[in-house]
Amino acid sequence: MFAIDSQAQQYPSTAVAGDGKVYAVSLRGNLGRSYCSRSSGVCLMGFLLSKFSTPSTYGHSQLKTGHPVRSAIHKQLNGRLVLRWVTTWESLLLYVLLSSFCSSSQDKIPFSANATPTLIRPSINAKSDSQKQCPVSTSKFSQSWGLSRSTVGRDGPTAVVFMNMGGPSNQGEIRDFLHRLFSDGDIIPFGRFQKIFANLITRFRTSKIEKQYAAIGGGSPIRKWSELQAQETCRILDKTSPLTAPHLPYVAFRYAHPLTEDVYSKLLADGFGKRGRAVAFSQYPQYSCGTTGSSINELFRCKEKLENPGSHIYWSIIDRWPAHPKFVEAVARNIEASLETYPVEKRKDVTIIFSAHSQPMRAVNQGDAYSSEVSATVYAVMKHLGFSNPYRLCWQSKVGPQPWLGPQTSEVVEKLIQKGDTHFLLVPIAFTSDHIETLYELDEELIGESGHADTIKRAESLNGSPMFIGALADMVKEHIDGGERSSRQFGNRCVDCQKDVCKDARGMFMSGPTS
């Protein structure tokens, strides 16, 4: 398939007209794309602009009848648009050349100098063969011929980049993983002492963390699950969102391989600096400056380091999804499946303990949205369950002496056991895949050492849940169809944030491409 990009949003497009049909009727604005596939062949089509044209109802142009067709051809030359008026005879010659690319006579593009074209209604739900074969976008951009801050304006290919913190896949990666983690001032700020702190804490904690990973098989399964989720999400999107296909999966980790910088380089090598678009998809359901925010800042640093004027990736972002209906339903289904393992007479009395990674109170007091969004997820899940059981929200993985968000999951379980309550269901609510916090902290330490492993259980993580993967695909499709570069909440920074990188990184997703 061939496609010719257009950088001129001021020129509406028409079609190659003939036999009462129009075949190329989409202009997507800045770096837009149009293509036409007919029957078994693939037609090479440029954008043809009529000198005798008037705007149509759908933002395209309608040829006036009774005039010979004189067209302006869009071409790319050093990144600039070149327009040239051609004669009718040159247009006919162009038609002959274009037709040679078709595989059979039925695939040739009908052309008549004096034909009256019939515009194809721009709808992705068209029922006729020609409409199905030549999809036309109805984005806000193509309707208004303008670019707003939160409007997306081009078709596939689409890179779907799953962003997460990652985890060491084997024992040999643990030290580097920890050093990158503790070197990140977004998650553990130590200012000018950051490097010294990272070196010291890595040296003292590596041995302990190696033993924890050894207990769960030697490494984290988060890469395996992330790659599966990304691949399956894109497979679904190719079917549900053909206008933005093909959808290509990428996994970008903050502290483990594949690192964000390596993935950014691959995106550029794969051509996304010159065509298509990329969706940064945070795999943290709830937004926090130390998780999603850190990944976004790193993405911005990679952009500044690796891009050049001739290679610019067009980004949008799914930055949070704490109460997406299908995500909520996927969590609820896992809870229901786990509750069914308890005796019927005890089932309604099992306390559901939602456990999320804690964060320093300093971050909470600065206005970080994480704790409130985790609470929103918990409430949405319990509402879906009809508030069938008593429940609590607790926090795990506290590090260091400073005050952290509580109560701590382990302390709550210990105190409830002391009171004689031993029927709990632990639900990881901020982790979508198994890793050290679920497999070791919850399974090995909390449940394994409780003495009540038969009544204290953990709901399965989402991992490869078909419903969850379907939810991920829905989120991407809704994001693309909605035309938003980010959520409305994305522009809110912590009230006293002084980091230039936080401001600049948000600007990366809140303005349209300039070329």
Domain regions of the chain by residue span: 17-144, 158-322+467-507, 325-458
Low pLDDT (below 70) residues in the chain: 1-154, 497-498, 510-515
Distance CA 492, CA 155 (A): 29
- pLDDT, position 226: 98
Tokens of 408: 């701590």
pLDDT digits (tens, 9 = 90+) for 4-29: 333 333 333 333 333 333 333 333 33
Write down the residue that tokens 């303990």 correspond to: 353
CATH class of 158-322+467-507: alpha beta
Distances 44 to 3, 70, 177 between C-alpha atoms, Å: 7, 19, 48
Query: Under CATH, what is the fold of the domain 325-458?
Result: Rossmann fold (3.40.50)
Query: Residue 95, SS3?
Result: helix
- pLDDT, position 217: 94
Burial class (CB in 10 A: 0-12, 13-18, 19+), 489: exposed
Query: Cβ distance 13 to 124 under 8 Å?
Result: no
- pLDDT, position 32: 34
Distance CA 120, CA 23 (A): 8
The catalytically annotated residue of 184, 319, 443, 474 is 474
- pLDDT, position 379: 98
- pLDDT, position 466: 97
- Is 434 a catalytic site residue? no
Side-chain-facing half-sphere of 253: CA atoms under 13 Å: 20
- pLDDT, position 511: 54
The Cα angle at residue 238 between residues 227 and 246, in degrees rounded to 5: 80
Compute the 3-state secondary structure of the chain and give helix, strand, coil in percent, each to the nearest 5: 40, 15, 45
> Do 158-322+467-507 and 325-458 come out as alike in CATH topology?
yes
Side-chain-facing half-sphere of 5: CA atoms under 13 Å: 19
- pLDDT, position 189: 81
Query: Cβ distance 296 to 302 under 8 Å?
Result: no
- pLDDT, position 276: 81
- pLDDT, position 131: 31
